[in-house]
Amino acid sequence: MFAEQTTPNIRHDWTKEETLILLQKPFNDLVYTAQQVHRQNFDPNKVQLSTLMNIKTGGCPEDCAYCPQSAHYKTGVEAEKLTTIEEVISQAETAKNKGATRFCMGAAWRQPKQRDLEMVIPMVKAVKKMELETCLTLGMLSLEQAKQLKASGLDYYNHNIDTSPEYYSKIISTRDYEERLTTLKHVRNAGINVCCGGIVGMGETQKDRAGFLLTLANMPNHPESVPINMLVKVEGTPLDDTKETDPIEFIRIIAAARIMMPKSYIRLSAGRNNMSDETQALCYLTGANSIFYGEKLLTTNNPQLTEDRLLLKRLGIQPNKN
Q: Active-site positions?
A: 60, 64, 67, 104, 135, 195, 267
The footprint of ligand SF4 on residues 64-83 (CB under 6 A) is 64, 67, 69-70
Residue 70's binding partner, choosing from ligand SF4, ligand SAM, ligand DTB, none, with beta-carbon cut-off 5 to 8 A by kind? ligand SF4
Interface characters, 12-51, with ligand SAM (x: CB under 6 A): ----------------------------------------
Contact segment (CB under 6 A) with ligand SAM among 43-51, 89-97, 101-109, 114-122 equals 101-109
Which residues of the chain form contacts with ligand DTB (CB under 6 A)?
A: 52, 68, 106, 137, 158, 160, 197, 227, 229, 232, 269-270, 297-300
Q: Can you tell me which of 65, 234, 253, 312 binds ligand SAM, judged by CB under 6 A?
A: 234
Smallest distance from ligand SAM to CB 311, Å: 20
Helices and strands, counts by H and E, the chain: 12, 10
Residue 108 is a binding residue for ligand SAM (CB under 6 A):
yes
Q: Where are the beta strands (DSSP E) in the chain?
A: 46-56, 102-107, 133-137, 156-158, 193-195, 198-200, 225-230, 265-268, 288-292, 318-319
- Candidates 229, 286, 292, 235; CA nearest to 257 is 286
Residue 231's binding partner, choosing from ligand SF4, ligand SAM, ligand DTB, none, with beta-carbon cut-off 5 to 8 A by kind? ligand SAM
Residue 164 is a binding residue for ligand SAM (CB under 6 A):
no
Residue 234 is a binding residue for ligand SF4 (CB under 6 A):
no
Smallest distance from ligand SAM to CB 67, Å: 4
Interface characters, 11-50, with ligand SF4 (x: CB under 6 A): ----------------------------------------
CB nearer ligand DTB, residue 117 or residue 226 = 226
Q: Can you tell me which of 30, 77, 108, 283 binds ligand SF4, judged by CB under 6 A?
A: 108
**Cβ contact 215:200 at 8 Å:** no
- Could you tell me whether strands 198-200 and 318-319 are parallel, antiparallel, or unpaired per DSSP bridges? unpaired
Residue 299's binding partner, choosing from ligand SF4, ligand SAM, ligand DTB, none, with beta-carbon cut-off 5 to 8 A by kind? ligand DTB
Name the residues that contact ligand SAM, by CB under 6 A.
66-67, 106, 108-109, 137, 139, 159-160, 162, 198-199, 229, 231-232, 234, 270, 298
Name the residues that contact ligand SF4, by CB under 6 A.
60, 62, 64, 67, 69-70, 108, 139
